Structure 1
């Protein structure tokens, strides 16, 4: 693969995932990832601080959620605003062509404690990003915190269903259904 080809971060992520599956996370080096992607070690570090981060997409998901919250209709309530952001995430990131990568990535994460811990920290960051974006829309602090927490729970439920090999449904509709179920559970309590 030539170094001039576009999407170095995507190429590095694909190479890392392949190597993590083949050799194990612990037995894979940054140099091996860069070489598999047809890039240099310095290019790797231009995009990612370490080999853990190559599977977490930088701030892509958080940025898309914040953009989705910001672009929600002005009169939308906090949970509807979060739903709009999850829909946007489904249209732009969790697309059909990304499903297999996400399924494989999750299997690698599930097999390594260090990666599961990193994923948990990333989800805390996603929640914090949603809280800040909701506050920016004028949502009161407590309401923003609750809506963001429910949004993260909804995201987790929808993501788990979306990567299920037997499920062909899109992420957005799954997120809407999960949010409806979360709302119903809250109303029932």
Structure 2
């Protein structure tokens, strides 16, 4: 195997996901992932700390996109509109060609207790990113926390719809719809 290969990270991610789907997460070793990708095991560890990171390594990008979206919302935007801008910004992480990968990743995560727990931790950290971004825009703590929680409820719902077979709409459109649905539900609380 050569010392340097183009697209090593992407090849490792795809090889890992393919093996997780075929054999299960628990039954897949890092060495098998590297072999499937045509790379050395050491190359795997240059890109990922462990095999979980193949599935969860994009959290930093989502956090940055959430923060950027809130920061770039118009000055007179409501807290929920700022969260909507954050969800729109996340569109960059979900181009159409990633739809199948995200669908398979979701299935792998849902089939494993450890990965589901990790997904919940990731969700909690992303809610905190949204809260911090809203607070930096001057939104009071309880309002920021509630808006962030609603935004994060809209995020996985939109993602689930985006990965449905036959779905072709962009993630941002589905996220807007989900946030509007949740906003309407909150209004019914009285």
Bin of the TM-score, shorter chain as denominator length: over 0.9
- Point out where structure 1 has 5 or more consecutive residues left out of the alignment: none
- Pairwise mapping of residues 1-189 of structure 1 onto structure 2 (< 5 A)? 4-58=4-58, 59-90=60-91, 92-189=92-189
Asked if structure 2 preserves the Cα contact closer than 8 Å seen for 1:2 and 1:38, the reply is no
| Secondary structure at the counterpart of residue 81 of structure 2 | helix
Asked if structure 2 preserves the Cα contact closer than 8 Å seen for 1:3 and 1:38, the reply is no
Q: 1:6 to 1:65 in 2, by over 3 A?
A: farther
Asked if structure 2 preserves the Cα contact closer than 8 Å seen for 1:134 and 1:144, the reply is yes
Q: TM-score, normalised by structure 2?
A: 0.92
In the alignment, the residues of structure 2 paired with residue 72 and residue 13 of structure 1 have an alpha-carbon distance, to the nearest angstrom, of 33
In the alignment, the residues of structure 1 paired with residue 108 and residue 14 of structure 2 have an alpha-carbon distance, to the nearest angstrom, of 12
- Point out where structure 2 has 5 or more consecutive residues left out of the alignment: none
State the number of aligned residues. 188
Larger displacement relative to structure 2 (30-39 or 156-165): 30-39
Structure 1 residue 132 displacement after superposition: 0.9
Structure 1 residue 170 displacement after superposition: 1.2
In the alignment, the residues of structure 1 paired with residue 134 and residue 42 of structure 2 have an alpha-carbon distance, to the nearest angstrom, of 37
Q: TM-score, normalised by structure 1?
A: 0.92
Q: 1:36 to 1:153 in 2, by over 3 A?
A: same
